[in-house]
Amino acid sequence: MAENLKIYNALKQPPKEALRTIQAGRLKGMSDINPQWRYKAMTEQFGICGIGWKYEITNIEHKEASGEQVVTHAYINLYTKDGDKWSEPIPGVGGSMMVAKESAGLHTSDESVKMAVTDALSVAMKMLGMAADVYAGLWDGAKYRDTVETTTTAVKDTTKDVPKKGTSVPEKGTITLAQTKKIYASIKERNITPDRAKAYLKEIFKKMSTKELTISEASRFIKDIEAGKLQKGGLVEEALKLGAEIIEGEE
């Protein structure tokens, strides 16, 4: 398995300088990845374009959209070389607006084909692990989003925060979206059945749903999954009879 993930792991985290935060539009707040970094990363892993990796454009089409707009779609096949043998085609579909409605009226782009091909390449390269941590919501160019940063902004009187004797302080911070996605991906990767995951959640954490987990509990759950602790036997079998709910992350 480690050998299969070698290239994936080498491509999954782009450097900070390759990312740009989208400032407007429907994708505001998301990360835009510099396509030139993708090509460099492919060259590092497979060799020069045309020799170690290549692509072919199989179709370009322009379709009418709403409000007299026109969208360009590009279809490509990506190939990588292993020794003297080329891979099977890795398909990618990309899109870009050729005619877009703007505040001043309709605007025609003479780069829609190029932009659609660039988009299609990025889609195909995802299959190899390109910038996977960004697409999974785990990496924003500065830190992994499922880590917890603790900062001190002011000194305050904490005597009021001391719990009464015999009580406990509830842990702050619920499971993050990135952790939810990681749990789902880890379960799927290891072919763990949903029932077994639910049972372990019930047995160990006394929770009926992953959304009830705190950040630290979610981190422990992920570690337990990766450590192979969700095996058959023991209380897991009993918990299977009780049932529990696990929230699936987005792929």
Class of the 13-131 domain? alpha beta
| pLDDT reading at 83 higher than 80 | yes
- Name which of 187, 180, 172 is nearest 146 in CA terms: 180
| pLDDT reading at 165 higher than 60 | no
Q: Can you give the residue ranges of every domain in the chain?
A: 13-131, 177-242
| Model pLDDT for residues 190-219, shown as the tens digit of each residue | 778 888 888 888 888 888 888 888 888 888
Lowest mean pLDDT among 2-6, 93-97, 156-160: 156-160
| pLDDT reading at 40 higher than 90 | yes
Higher pLDDT, 16 or 108: 108
pLDDT of the residue at 231: 59
Quote the mean pLDDT of the chain: 78
- 250, with CB counted inside 10 A (0-12, 13-18, 19+), is exposed
pLDDT of the residue at 29: 57
pLDDT of the residue at 227: 83
Of the pLDDT bands very low, low, confident and very high (cuts 50, 70, 90), residue 22 is low
Contacts 24+ apart (CB under 8 A), 241-245: 242/199, 242/202, 243/198, 243/202, 244/198, 244/199, 244/201, 244/202, 244/207, 244/208, 244/209, 245/198, 245/208, 245/209, 245/210
Phi, psi of 221 (to 5 degrees): -60, -45
pLDDT of the residue at 178: 81
| Model pLDDT for residues 84-98, shown as the tens digit of each residue | 999 999 999 999 999
Of the pLDDT bands very low, low, confident and very high (cuts 50, 70, 90), residue 30 is low
> Is 76 strand, coil or helix?
strand
CA 19 from chain center: how many Å? Answer: 15
Lowest mean pLDDT among 79-83, 214-218, 226-230, 242-246: 242-246
Query: In angstroms, rounded to a whole number, what is the distance separating the alpha carbons of residues 125 and 73?
Result: 17
Is there a contact between 31 and 152 (Cβ–Cβ < 8 Å)?
Answer: no
Query: In angstroms, rounded to a whole number, what is the distance separating the alpha carbons of residues 168 and 159?
Result: 15
| pLDDT reading at 35 higher than 70 | yes
| Model pLDDT for residues 91-127, shown as the tens digit of each residue | 999 999 999 988 888 999 999 999 999 999 999 999 9
Lowest mean pLDDT among 16-30, 65-79, 112-126, 155-169: 155-169
Higher pLDDT, 185 or 123: 123
Pair of tokens at residue 183: 């749990």
pLDDT of the residue at 118: 95
Query: In angstroms, rounded to a whole number, what is the distance separating the alpha carbons of residues 145 and 137?
Result: 7
